[in-house]
């Protein structure tokens, strides 16, 4: 039992004591407490320091709208800053720290900012960090230097540096009716939909259902509200068609009734169950949605309105009735509407003394008068609170007569209180409806923005729709007994005494005052969008849930226009803070799919070190005990040139192009001719994009009059498929062609080297393999170890080479047979590094050179551009810019200092130049066993014209500089005698 805990009542379990730590001090609360209610029960009045002025701040609200009580939750080495204390359900071992204070909450050196208040007015950063335009500091870095200190003083919590070790997951759900919010309106809507047999999802932001039923008093169908809530919840839980999601905030409303929701699965537990994620990110598609998100109470702006002990009246009632905690012992109420009278009674019932009810209005409803009598204390109609005193705890308030917007000094007096409960009216939580695309409508009677006519399939219910009474929220079919109060407030948002007596806060979290808003008006930042950006009103982590409407009202008053004309900003997702981890969830780490070739296990068993290439895994090298990567690939590449090697090429994209017009189609998509290609022959082809830039290359095999097997690079397989489908669907639907991706149907191995034919001769049945039967670019069908194979004689390595394809299921079987046949020739499996080395030695291009910027001429592939027919890109490939002299073009480079080169390094003419102008960059590098040198391919201005010239590589990031010689990219066997042999 603590000073602020009530004797009884509240939806907390007093038999369960929960221990937690706040700023290193051990404290306790009960099951059912939030951190805010537990801190309040422990008598903590100051929970944080404000953003700019470092003023002591206390708990101001009881829900997600809390602007002051932000804390950092510490779990092991992880820190999660800026969590509203009102949203934390306490658990044993909870550890939190307060924020933006140094060295401690009660003594904070930053509070000196409060004395320099006028310096930090709206636009402070814009004005200050422009730097002086005259004087001795003009153009110096002095201002930048100051900035870092000023920015450090302003701020919120500090995130940790440790990687997040928690697990997050994603869920997708579909339902007939999504109900957002489980107050009376949401519960009744869920009940109705469930009764109609619909699939219902009921999402509630808090840990318990019920919304205001947990603290407002009413009788529903003869039961007290709290009992009706428990009965209804039990019914919904028993229904088979209702999914209840507690601790779930629906934060985004997207097209076609798609919703994003964050479920905080274990944030309220000391020890999560095995397998439980911390957060679950829901994507919900709902046929219909009921928005029952309630309303936020507004503060009234007056000098000193941020003193600890001043809080929203509805929040005060909630602390008393739901949490059994009193925000103060001697309480005053300050209101412009009837709803605060209910709060007064709730506080009184919980044991607080009501000192006074200060109401801006001269007259109130009979129901309110009744409530005032019940609450006790002085009823001061036509009065305003004009100041509040006390630093770390409210001590007293000044009260003055108020009529017609005028404050009179006569009758001014002070009332000693330790708590002031304020109500400036209610703003429906229309955020989701606004996200859905509808502009809110200003309601003059309720002095609030109400949701507009729906633009998607949603209906509104309860306070969201401006229906604040429990009866209206539930809908017609319930008997409700409650105080019949009037929810229309007096249209007063700010109390402005003639004599300035202190700061009047509008946005507590960003320390935006009423005078900041008037300053923005004077300086011309009048539109709501400008106001927001200039003053940062509503831009803090609470997104202005308590401050938007008062801020707008003050701007409208300053401009002398009605609020309805001042406009409002559109709400955007997220409604409240969303963990980044939940957005990434399973899309990283071990849930990423892996594509493995049919021979993957063989590679692993034979010491392959794997590369990930997109989703594919391919052998990089086959490490033979203790070799470096370079030693391994040099050994593998040399074996290919000396005898024979074998490489897995299953990852190449493969597309079956079939139909009577297949040849004509390929003539259009490739720059060179395919319709004339004889059956059982292959040809190397180049594709361009429409604008004449190289897109992809590969060999395409004619297997029949109407049937081609196209191969693409591994990386572009999907893009090429889409490219072909686009042209067939959208440009040339008349062509009788069908394309099918067959990448995964085939396993492929390339056998390369002077002994390649001898290897095949040992194991291939059913076909001859000599030069006549299988010439360069010829194709034969045969069998290896009983499995049908397709063999094409083509070469990427520059050696005599054959690509052997078989059904994917036979892959390892055929590979084993090839390895066995190659044993007498010491056949060497080789990986991507050796493959790259062999192709660099030959000057063959890949994606590193076909990089989306190079034209065929840049790559010296202009011999492939047919003059006999149009093709995709033919009309634009000769444009001025694409044939310009100074384009970067393909060359070879040789390291002259016998040190390795780096891909991506720039090439310059002279290292002495400052700045050094790049004349190109390196695209691929290797150590060439054939040449005994470090070589590379590069794209260099002028290309061929620089052959024989010296240049330098300049790679400051890796600190590698050195001389190179620019040579032809055909390093090895330029005549191609080896592959034709």
CB of 881 to other proteins, least distance (A): 12
Please report whether residue 691 would count as binding other proteins according to CB under 8 A: yes
Choose which of 221, 725, 897, 917 interacts with other proteins (CB under 8 A).
725
Given phi > 0 = left and psi -120 to 50 = alpha, else beta, which region is 190? alpha
The DSSP secondary-structure symbol of 921 reads E
User: Cα 671–673–677 angle (5° rounding)?
Assistant: 145
Please report whether residue 733 would count as binding other proteins according to CB under 8 A: yes
CA distances from 190 to 241, 244, 285, 898 (A): 10, 10, 16, 76
Following DSSP, what letter does each residue of 621-683 receive, concatenated? EE--TT--HHHHHHHHHHHHHHS-EEEE-TTSEEEEEESTTHHHHHHHHBSS--TTPPTTEEE
Which range binds other proteins by CB under 8 A, 86-94, 253-261, 472-480, 753-761?
Answer: 253-261
Rank residues 285 and 933 by Cβ distance to other proteins and give the closer one. 285
Judged by CB under 8 A, how many residues of this single chain contact other proteins? 23
Give the burial class of 46: count Cβ atoms within 10 A of its Cβ; 0-12 exposed, 13-18 middle, 19 or more buried.
Answer: buried
Rank residues 874 and 968 by Cβ distance to other proteins and give the closer one. 874
Please report whether residue 668 would count as binding other proteins according to CB under 8 A: yes
The answer to whether 257 and 173 have CB atoms below 8 angstroms apart is no
Which range binds other proteins by CB under 8 A, 75-83, 315-323, 729-737, 774-782?
Answer: 729-737
Please report whether residue 770 would count as binding other proteins according to CB under 8 A: no
Backbone angles phi, psi at 745, to 5 degrees: -80, -25
d(CA 111, CA 2): 30
Please report whether residue 729 would count as binding other proteins according to CB under 8 A: yes
d(CA 114, CA 53): 4
Strands (E), 142-270: 168-180, 200-203, 219-220, 223-224, 242-245, 248-254, 258-264
Please report whether residue 106 would count as binding other proteins according to CB under 8 A: no
Please report, as residue ranges, which positions from 433 to 452 form the binding site for other proteins (by CB under 8 A): 437
Residues with Cβ within 8 Å of 293's Cβ and at least 6 positions away in sequence, in order, are 180, 181, 428, 429, 430, 431, 432, 464
Choose which of 104, 140, 258, 564 interacts with other proteins (CB under 8 A).
258
**3-state SS string for 848-912:** CCCCCCCCCCCCCCHHHCCCCCCCCCCCCCCCHHHCCCCCEEEEEEEECCCCCCCCCCEEECCCC
Please report, as residue ranges, which positions from 826 to 865 form the binding site for other proteins (by CB under 8 A): none
d(CA 705, CA 303): 89
Given phi > 0 = left and psi -120 to 50 = alpha, else beta, which region is 520? alpha
Please report whether residue 329 would count as binding other proteins according to CB under 8 A: no
Choose which of 153, 596, 876, 883 interacts with other proteins (CB under 8 A).
876
Return the residue matching tokens 């790679």: 955
Please report whether residue 601 would count as binding other proteins according to CB under 8 A: no
CB of 165 to other proteins, least distance (A): 29
For the record, the structure tokens of 561 come out as 């226009």
Rank residues 727 and 815 by Cβ distance to other proteins and give the closer one. 727
CB of 700 to other proteins, least distance (A): 20
Please report whether residue 738 would count as binding other proteins according to CB under 8 A: no
Rank residues 456 and 527 by Cβ distance to other proteins and give the closer one. 456
Please report whether residue 79 would count as binding other proteins according to CB under 8 A: no
CB of 722 to other proteins, least distance (A): 7
3-state secondary structure of 226: helix
Choose which of 255, 477, 705, 770 interacts with other proteins (CB under 8 A).
255
Which range binds other proteins by CB under 8 A, 250-258, 442-450, 621-629, 759-767?
Answer: 250-258
Closest CA to 753 of 815, 829, 810: 829
Give the burial class of 304: count Cβ atoms within 10 A of its Cβ; 0-12 exposed, 13-18 middle, 19 or more buried.
Answer: buried
Rank residues 729 and 975 by Cβ distance to other proteins and give the closer one. 729
Rank residues 143 and 732 by Cβ distance to other proteins and give the closer one. 732
Please report whether residue 886 would count as binding other proteins according to CB under 8 A: no
Rank residues 291 and 688 by Cβ distance to other proteins and give the closer one. 688
772: how many CB neighbours lie within 10 A of its CB?
A: 8
Choose which of 879, 899, 944, 958 interacts with other proteins (CB under 8 A).
879
Choose which of 870, 956, 963, 976 interacts with other proteins (CB under 8 A).
870
Please report whether residue 288 would count as binding other proteins according to CB under 8 A: no
Please report whether residue 731 would count as binding other proteins according to CB under 8 A: yes
Residue 358 half-sphere exposure toward CB, CA atoms < 13 A: 29
Which range binds other proteins by CB under 8 A, 95-103, 394-402, 728-736, 910-918?
Answer: 728-736
Please report whether residue 614 would count as binding other proteins according to CB under 8 A: no
Choose which of 690, 745, 761, 897 interacts with other proteins (CB under 8 A).
690
Which range binds other proteins by CB under 8 A, 33-41, 74-82, 478-486, 868-876?
Answer: 868-876
Residue 347: in which H helix or E strand, if any? helix 339-349
C-alpha torsion 943→947→950→951, nearest 10: 10
Please report whether residue 254 would count as binding other proteins according to CB under 8 A: yes
The 390-429 contact track toward other proteins, x by CB under 8 A, reads ----------------------------------------
Rank residues 281 and 336 by Cβ distance to other proteins and give the closer one. 281
Residue 751 half-sphere exposure toward CB, CA atoms < 13 A: 31
Rank residues 169 and 667 by Cβ distance to other proteins and give the closer one. 667
d(CA 671, CA 688): 7
Using CB under 8 A as the criterion, which residues of the chain lie in contact with other proteins when the complex forms? 254-256, 258, 285, 437, 455, 668, 690-691, 722, 725-726, 729-731, 733-734, 870, 874-876, 879
């Amino acid at each position: 039992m603590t000073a602020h805990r009530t004797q009884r009542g509240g939806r907390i379990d007093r038999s369960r004591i929960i221990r937690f730590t706040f700023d290193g001090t051990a404290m306790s609360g009960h099951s059912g407490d939030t951190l805010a209610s537990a801190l309040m029960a422990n008598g903590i009045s100051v929970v944080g320091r404000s953003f700019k002025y470092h003023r002591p701040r206390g708990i101001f609200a009881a829900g997600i709208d809390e602007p002051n009580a932000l804390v950092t939750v510490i779990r092991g080495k992880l820190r999660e800053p800026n969590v509203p204390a009102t949203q934390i359900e306490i658990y044993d071992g909870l550890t939190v720290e307060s924020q933006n204070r140094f060295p401690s909450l009660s003594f904070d050196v930053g509070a000196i900012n409060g004395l320099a208040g006028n310096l930090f007015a709206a636009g402070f950063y814009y004005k200050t960090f422009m730097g002086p335009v005259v004087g001795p500091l003009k153009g110096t870095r002095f201002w930048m230097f100051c900035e870092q200190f000023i920015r450090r003083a302003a701020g919120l919590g500090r995130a940790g540096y440790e990687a997040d070790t928690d697990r997050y997951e994603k869920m997708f759900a579909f339902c007939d009716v999504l109900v957002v919010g489980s107050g009376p309106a949401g519960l009744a809507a869920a009940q109705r939909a469930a009764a109609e047999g619909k699939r219902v999802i009921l999402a509630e932001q808090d840990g318990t259902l019920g919304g205001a039923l947990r603290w407002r008093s009413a009788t529903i169908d003869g039961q007290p509200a709290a009992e009706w809530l428990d009965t209804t919840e039990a019914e919904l839980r028993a229904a088979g068609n209702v999914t209840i999601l507690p601790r779930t905030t629906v934060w985004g409303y997207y097209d076609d009734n798609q919703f994003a929701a964050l479920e905080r699965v274990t944030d309220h537990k000391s020890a999560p169950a095995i397998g439980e994620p911390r957060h679950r990110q829901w994507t919900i598609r709902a046929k219909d949605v009921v928005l029952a998100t309630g309303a936020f109470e507004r503060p009234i702006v007056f000098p000193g309105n941020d003193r600890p002990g001043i809080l929203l009246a509805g929040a005060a009632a909630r602390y008393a009735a739901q949490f059994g905690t009193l925000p103060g012992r001697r309480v005053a109420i300050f209101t412009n509407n009837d709803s605060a009278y209910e709060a007064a009674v709730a506080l009184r019932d919980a044991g607080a003394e009501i000192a006074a009810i200060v109401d801006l209005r001269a007259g109130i409803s009979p129901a309110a008068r009744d409530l005032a009598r019940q609450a006790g204390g002085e009823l001061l109609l036509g009065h305003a609170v004009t100041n509040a005193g006390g630093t770390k705890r409210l001590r007293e308030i000044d009260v003055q007569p108020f009529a017609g917007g005028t404050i009179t000094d006569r009758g001014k007096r002070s009332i000693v209180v330790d708590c002031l409960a304020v109500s400036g009216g209610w703003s429906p939580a229309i955020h989701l409806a606004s996200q859905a695309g509808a502009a809110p409508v200003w309601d003059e009677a309720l002095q609030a923005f109400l949701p507009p006519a729906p633009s998607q399939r949603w209906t509104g219910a309860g306070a969201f729709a401006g229906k604040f009474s429990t009866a209206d929220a539930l809908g017609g079919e319930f008997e409700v007994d409650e105080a019949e109060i009037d929810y229309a407030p007096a249209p007063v948002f700010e109390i402005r005494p003639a004599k300035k007596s202190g700061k009047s806060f509008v946005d507590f979290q960003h320390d935006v005052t009423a005078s900041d808003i008037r300053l923005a008006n004077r300086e011309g930042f009048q539109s709501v969008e400008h106001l927001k950006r200039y003053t940062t009103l509503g831009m803090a982590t609470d997104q202005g849930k308590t401050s938007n409407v008062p801020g707008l009202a003050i701007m409208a008053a300053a401009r002398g226009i009605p609020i309805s004309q001042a406009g409002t900003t559109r709400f955007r997702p997220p409604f409240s803070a969303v963990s980044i981890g939940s957005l990434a969830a399973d899309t990283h780490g071990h849930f990423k799919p892996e594509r493995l070739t049919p021979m993957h296990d063989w590679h692993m068993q034979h010491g392959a070190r794997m590369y990930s290439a997109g989703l594919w895994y391919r052998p990089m090298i086959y490490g033979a005990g203790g070799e470096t990567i370079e030693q391994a690939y040099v050994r593998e590449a040399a074996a290919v040139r000396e005898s024979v090697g074998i490489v897995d090429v299953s990852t190449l994209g493969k597309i079956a192009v079939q139909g009577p017009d297949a040849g004509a189609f390929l003539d259009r998509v490739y720059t060179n001719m395919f319709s004339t290609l004889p059956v059982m022959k292959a040809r190397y082809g180049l594709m361009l994009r429409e604008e004449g830039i190289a897109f992809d290359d590969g060999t395409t095999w004619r297997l029949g009059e109407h049937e081609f097997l196209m191969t693409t690079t591994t990386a572009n397989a999907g893009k090429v498929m889409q490219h072909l489908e686009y042209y067939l669907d959208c440009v040339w639907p008349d062509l009788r062609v069908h394309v099918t991706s067959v990448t995964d149907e085939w396993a492929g191995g390339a056998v390369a080297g002077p002994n390649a034919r001898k290897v095949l001769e040992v194991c291939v049945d059913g076909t001859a393999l000599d030069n006549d039967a299988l010439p360069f670019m010829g194709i034969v069908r045969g069998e290896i170890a009983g499995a049908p194979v397709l063999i094409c004689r083509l070469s990427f390595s520059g050696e005599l080479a054959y690509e052997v394809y078989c059904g994917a299921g036979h892959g390892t079987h055929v590979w084993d047979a090839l390895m066995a046949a190659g044993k007498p020739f010491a056949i060497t499996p080789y990986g991507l590094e050796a493959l790259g080395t062999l192709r660099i030695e030959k000057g063959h291009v890949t994606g590193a050179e076909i990089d989306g910027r190079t034209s065929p001429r840049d790559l010296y592939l202009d011999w492939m551009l047919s003059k006999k027919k149009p093709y995709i890109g033919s009309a634009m490939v000769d444009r001025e810019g694409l044939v310009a002299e100074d384009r970067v073009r393909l060359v070879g480079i040789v390291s002259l200092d016998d040190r390795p080169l780096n891909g991506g390094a720039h090439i310059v003419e002279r290292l002495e130049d400052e700045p050094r102008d790049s004349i190109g960059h390196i695209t691929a590098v290797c150590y060439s066993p054939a040449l005994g040198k470090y070589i590379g391919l590069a794209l260099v201005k002028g290309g061929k014209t620089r052959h024989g010239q010296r240049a330098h590589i300049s790679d400051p990031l890796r600190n590698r500089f050195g001389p190179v010689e620019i040579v032809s990219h055909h390093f090895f066997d330029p005549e191609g005698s080896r592959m034709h042999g």
